[in-house]
């Protein structure tokens, strides 16, 4: 039982029962503070710190509402995240959390389609046609396209293709840092007809640099 486990841990670790907290899986992250409160974790912390706990009961009404609200989300919103490091989602953790908060505010359940930028490029058709088809299907199945920041020139052409697809099909597009540069370069190439338009961040010798490094920055 839970009590037996707590007793064994208490003997082994010299930790009192009230300081042993169980954190099991929950439907969404906003349930965690409620879980801690229900196990009186705050009282255990205040006791160890020799602080008065009588007047410091946690006010978690907002947390409760958020947790319940997330549990009730059924309508989805699908965002295509087009980047170089899609195999390691933690690389975009801050962007992912921002998307999550935004989707909750819009009362939508977030679905992220991870699209490797290089798989959108024509070179992939010959090298791995299945990856090419999968990448484009993921992009076309999204309600919005997000191209986050990145470094180097690998996958840049794929990101440009993603920006072009979003613009031509009137799909909401958000470019962050490099992603914004990509949108500018794509517009210059496709609409203004400057075929060699580029950014000095990934092509320092570009003859048509539509994005440049500012010396004062």
Active site residue 177: yes
| 78 half-sphere exposure, CB direction, 13 A CA radius | 11
List beta partners, residue 78.
Answer: 111
Catalytic residue, chosen from 19, 70, 106, 177, is 177
Q: Would you tell me how many other CB atoms lie within 10 Å of the CB of residue 94?
A: 11
- Bridge partners, 175 (sequence order): 147
Q: What is the rounded distance in angstroms from the CA atom of residue 104 to the CA atom of residue 69?
A: 8
Angle, in degrees to the nearest 10, between helices 156-168 and 178-190? 70
Whole-number CA gyration radius for the chain: 24
Question: Cβ distance 47 to 17 under 8 Å?
Answer: no
Cβ proximity of 70 and 27 under 8 Å: yes
CA 29 to chain CA mean position, Å: 14
Catalytic residue set: 177
């Amino acid at each position: 039982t839970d009590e037996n486990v707590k007793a064994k841990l208490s003997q082994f670790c010299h930790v009192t029962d009230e300081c042993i907290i169980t954190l099991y899986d929950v439907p969404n992250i906003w349930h965690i503070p409620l879980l801690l409160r229900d196990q009186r974790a705050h009282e255990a912390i205040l006791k160890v710190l020799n602080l008065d706990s009588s007047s410091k009961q946690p006010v978690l009404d907002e947390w409760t509402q958020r947790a319940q609200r997330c549990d009730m989300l059924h309508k989805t919103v699908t965002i295509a995240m087009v980047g170089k490091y899609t195999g390691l989602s933690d690389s975009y953790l801050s962007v992912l959390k921002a998307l999550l908060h935004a989707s909750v505010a819009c009362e939508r359940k977030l679905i992220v389609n991870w699209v490797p930028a290089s798989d959108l490029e024509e070179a992939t058709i010959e090298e791995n046609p299945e990856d090419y088809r999968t990448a484009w299907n993921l992009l076309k199945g999204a309600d919005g396209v997000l191209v986050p920041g990145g470094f180097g020139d690998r996958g840049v052409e794929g990101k440009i293709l993603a920006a072009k697809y979003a613009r031509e099909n009137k799909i909401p597009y958000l470019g962050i840092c490099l992603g914004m540069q990509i949108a500018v370069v794509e517009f210059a190439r496709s609409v203004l007809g400057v075929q060699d338009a580029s950014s000095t961040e990934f092509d320092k010798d570009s003859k048509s640099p539509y994005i440049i490094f500012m010396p004062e920055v």
